[in-house]
A = this chain, B = another copy of it.
């Protein structure tokens, strides 16, 4: 039976948003939940809500990793952290997936050390889902798990992204693009030029190079890049979104007619913001790890946590990891095969 552990101590507004989001998910999707964190902080919040009919347990963890902790310090020094305890629950088969809005580096490192990568995967990749102009979301990976990559890492990211898109979004033949600096085959840096050649041969719907401007257009379903570039893209997109909203607000405040207009246009702005709101998209799955680990934004609200639990649940239901192992073995992409 699927059961999801929610690290209750991770976000900027922990444990409130985690507890609320987890309970909302339990109510809405019927997912059994284990809230991991300090019991004295979680229990009072649980007492405030009607949890009848929901399967919610609390697993005590006395420590919490902060955003300032380095990933290895977090893992080595804070043995009883909520992140660590949640990962151990998954390693021991007591839960099928973990959701955390904590320190991303620490969550990734703990997942790798405690639970481990799938035997076929060289480098787990952090993936994220971005809204697009055409409404359908696009998957971007890697967004920060691997800052320096070899060509075969990106090849593996492409296969994992393809499986993600097919199983979770039901896209029959996802269009997979390689993030580069020109659409022509020959464009790119040393890394992407090599990757381009192997993706040409891969059994996926590789549509070639895509550019930064294509990410949000909606004509590509999976965008592959190294974790440095992906992380820059992710943070730039967040920053630009905030800058746009800020500038627009500023201009709208300047004149009376604009103020009147902004009242009339209020709902449209809300819709606009919602379409771009990361919290609708359910966090960033770490692909290639045993079990399911979903990393959420530190500034997550309860809606983001709820959606992350939903996505974790879907990953488990659709056996995404089995699909990855099967596909990698079929393609001879196992680590063992590489070593020979």
Interface residues on A, range: 35 or more
The answer to whether A268 touches B244, judged by C-beta atoms less than 8 angstroms apart, is: no
The answer to whether A268 touches B258, judged by C-beta atoms less than 8 angstroms apart, is: yes
Chain B residue with minimal CB distance to A252? B268
Using known A-B contacts A144-B181, A228-B188, A248-B272, determine if residue A235 contacts B212 with beta carbons closer than 8 Å.
Answer: yes
Give the shortest distance, in Å, between A152 (CB) and chain B (any CB): 17
Give the shortest distance, in Å, between A134 (CB) and chain B (any CB): 10
| Interface-lining segment among A48-56, A91-99, A213-221, A308-316 | A213-221
The answer to whether B268 touches A261, judged by C-beta atoms less than 8 angstroms apart, is: yes
Chain B residue with minimal CB distance to A251? B268
Give the shortest distance, in Å, between A195 (CB) and chain B (any CB): 13
- Within 8 Å CB of A215, what residues of B? 236, 239
Q: Mark A171-189, 1 if CB is under 8 A from B, else 0.
A: 0000000010100001011
Q: Name A212's contact: one of B181, B239, B246 (CB within 8 Å).
A: B239
What is the interface of chain A mostly: helix, strand, loop, or mixed? helix
Q: Mark A261-272, 1 if CB is under 8 A from B, else 0.
A: 111111111011
What is the CA–CA distance of A247 and B133 in the complex, to the nearest angstrom? 7
What is the CA–CA distance of A272 and B240 in the complex, to the nearest angstrom? 13
* A319 located at the interface, meaning its Cβ lies under 8 Å from any Cβ of chain B in the complex: no
The answer to whether B228 touches A213, judged by C-beta atoms less than 8 angstroms apart, is: no
Q: Mark A129-147, 1 if CB is under 8 A from B, else 0.
A: 0001100000000001001
The answer to whether A213 touches B190, judged by C-beta atoms less than 8 angstroms apart, is: no
The answer to whether B181 touches A147, judged by C-beta atoms less than 8 angstroms apart, is: yes
* A2 located at the interface, meaning its Cβ lies under 8 Å from any Cβ of chain B in the complex: no
Chain B residue with minimal CB distance to A230? B181
* A323 located at the interface, meaning its Cβ lies under 8 Å from any Cβ of chain B in the complex: no
Q: Name A189's contact: one of B70, B147, B236, B247 (CB within 8 Å).
A: B147
The answer to whether B255 touches A243, judged by C-beta atoms less than 8 angstroms apart, is: no
The answer to whether B258 touches A240, judged by C-beta atoms less than 8 angstroms apart, is: no
What is the CA–CA distance of A213 and B211 in the complex, to the nearest angstrom? 19
What is the CA–CA distance of A264 and B226 in the complex, to the nearest angstrom? 44
* A205 located at the interface, meaning its Cβ lies under 8 Å from any Cβ of chain B in the complex: no
Most buried by B among A147, A211, A257: A147
Chain B residue with minimal CB distance to A236? B212
* A232 located at the interface, meaning its Cβ lies under 8 Å from any Cβ of chain B in the complex: yes
Give the shortest distance, in Å, between A30 (CB) and chain B (any CB): 33
What are 15 contact pairs spanning A and B, CB under 8 A?
A148-B190, A181-B227, A181-B228, A188-B228, A211-B235, A213-B238, A216-B243, A251-B268, A254-B271, A255-B267, A257-B267, A258-B264, A261-B264, A262-B268, A264-B264
- Sort A-B residue pairs by CB-CB distance and give the 8 closest, nearest first: A261-B264, A261-B265, A213-B239, A212-B236, A212-B235, A251-B268, A258-B268, A181-B231
